[in-house]
Chains A and B, each alone.
Chain A
């Protein structure tokens, strides 16, 4: 996500107070698939954690290779009350970093980029009538879309939680 418009104020939203995500994500235990060779499967190597982008998006990939995408709590705080969401079309294929939609508040419009390449298999239609779900629950009920990953290796280039938090605190100062 990047803030494309913040008319007249500054090119980038600055946040005082910094990153304060106290949410705890309870995830099901990761099932480690052991193969007959006794090593971890390819899937579990990639799909072991929620990943983040520098553009303040998250992607959470399940064991079937389906990634749920949303914007982070930091992003929704910076953006303010979301009043409009543009979601990607189901069935469409996007390359990593391609623009797939937008999230808008009164003060700014923010493009959403595909955190990973793949086909959109679902969009969160609840957001059309209730864009404020993104503010209330950015990293759960306010998810944007689900992507069927075409190249799971891309996940390696994304940030883990710790690196993402560092990235946020560097942006706040």
Chain B
């Protein structure tokens, strides 16, 4: 099957994007003017622009949209204020994670963004649940948003740039909230969020205006284009999961360290797929769980084995590599409960050699989300 292209494909080529296949899309892994390492550090110090239009954007409408979606995800969407968003997970009947997603609640619809790599299975799952819900008389409707690009502007300089471009005071635009902003004449759906650990925005804009908007943002000398390479190392430092690696459909949100995404009311009431497997784990514990590691010596990558000091295999790395910001090797992985406490000394096998490792709290690099002080 030919790779799909976002509305910014030609733009990427023109700007020296090295295109690679990713989740069925042709996406820039980096740009010729900046290596992954430099691009990563640039994001932490200035601002980077990422094309994330490959992600699946959906619009859920209908009178019963909130109660419908609560069957599928663990978030308390009743409580979620209007124009606010939350990280959540779609669960299956066994309590495993079908996908992670960001859900944004508006007065007349819910905006959902999920992973490109999971787009097909997410849609199949949601549509199947919709038809069951409708048969029971529920009023809900789903539309895939395929005429809008999604641009992520990330980094400490993102806010001042966006503020200048839309000529609006953004000081009360808090992390994980959403707004419609007019950016130089373009109508944009903007959330103050991202996947880098930095302050920043994800900007939904019509595909036809996306290149113009990207060029407007790039006019600022502090903005550089960044690709999947930097996006991956940035999110790892921020302790954020990558579906298919750190999360999958056999892993529950409790094992994944995402218990905080399960709303208080949801813990009492359940009412989402797999709740009977997930909720007892909150009190009863789990066999293995996601942790962060700092590793001496060689970087440990996905599938590297984790051992205790008695050389027993206790887990596996799911994402890992050198951290450009810390200049240390970081990794996240799953290990047997009991070894998960910070400062626990462990070992990770890289190319048949044991490397010293220590469990650490995530994020590895402090996040800079724009929250009320």
Q: Which residues on A are within 8 Å of B, measured CB to CB?
A: 4-5, 7-10, 13-17, 80-81, 83-84, 86, 99, 102, 104-107, 109, 111
Q: Can you show 13 pairs from A to B with CB atoms below 8 A apart?
A: A7-B301, A8-B22, A8-B242, A80-B35, A81-B35, A81-B37, A83-B37, A83-B322, A84-B298, A84-B322, A102-B298, A106-B321, A107-B36
Known interface pairs A9-B29, A106-B37; 8 further A-B residue pairs with C-beta atoms within 8 A, sorted by A's residue number:
A8-B22, A9-B21, A80-B36, A84-B329, A102-B351, A104-B322, A107-B229, A107-B233
**Contact indicator A13/B20 (Cβ below 8 Å):** yes
* CB of B209 within 8 Å of the partner chain: no
**Contact indicator B22/A104 (Cβ below 8 Å):** no
**Contact indicator B22/A10 (Cβ below 8 Å):** yes
* CB of B244 within 8 Å of the partner chain: yes
B288-336 CB contacts (< 8 Å) to partner A? 298-299, 301-302, 319, 321-322, 324, 329
Complex CA distance for A90 and B172, rounded to whole angstroms: 61
Separation in Å of the B193 CB from the closest CB of chain A? Answer: 21
Complex CA distance for A2 and B233, rounded to whole angstroms: 21
Residue numbers in A under 8 Å from B40 (CB-CB): 106
Complex CA distance for A107 and B35, rounded to whole angstroms: 10
Separation in Å of the A53 CB from the closest CB of chain B? Answer: 19
Minimal Cβ-Cβ distance residue in A for B244:
A8
Residue numbers in B under 8 Å from A14 (CB-CB): 18-20
Which of A10, A81, A104, A106 is within 8 Å of B20, CB to CB?
Answer: A10
**Contact indicator A86/B298 (Cβ below 8 Å):** yes
Residue numbers in A under 8 Å from B229 (CB-CB): 9, 80, 106-107
**Contact indicator A17/B32 (Cβ below 8 Å):** yes
Separation in Å of the B222 CB from the closest CB of chain A? Answer: 21
**Contact indicator A7/B21 (Cβ below 8 Å):** no
Residue numbers in A under 8 Å from B302 (CB-CB): 5, 7
* CB of B216 within 8 Å of the partner chain: no
Residue numbers in B under 8 Å from A10 (CB-CB): 20-22
**Contact indicator B232/A107 (Cβ below 8 Å):** yes
Separation in Å of the B296 CB from the closest CB of chain A? Answer: 12
* CB of B245 within 8 Å of the partner chain: yes
Minimal Cβ-Cβ distance residue in A for B21:
A10
Q: Given that A80-B229, A86-B298 are known contacts, is A106 also in contact with B36, CB under 8 Å in the complex?
A: yes
**Contact indicator B233/A106 (Cβ below 8 Å):** yes
Residue numbers in A under 8 Å from B91 (CB-CB): none
**Contact indicator B351/A99 (Cβ below 8 Å):** yes
* CB of B38 within 8 Å of the partner chain: yes
Complex CA distance for A104 and B350, rounded to whole angstroms: 12
Complex CA distance for A106 and B37, rounded to whole angstroms: 7
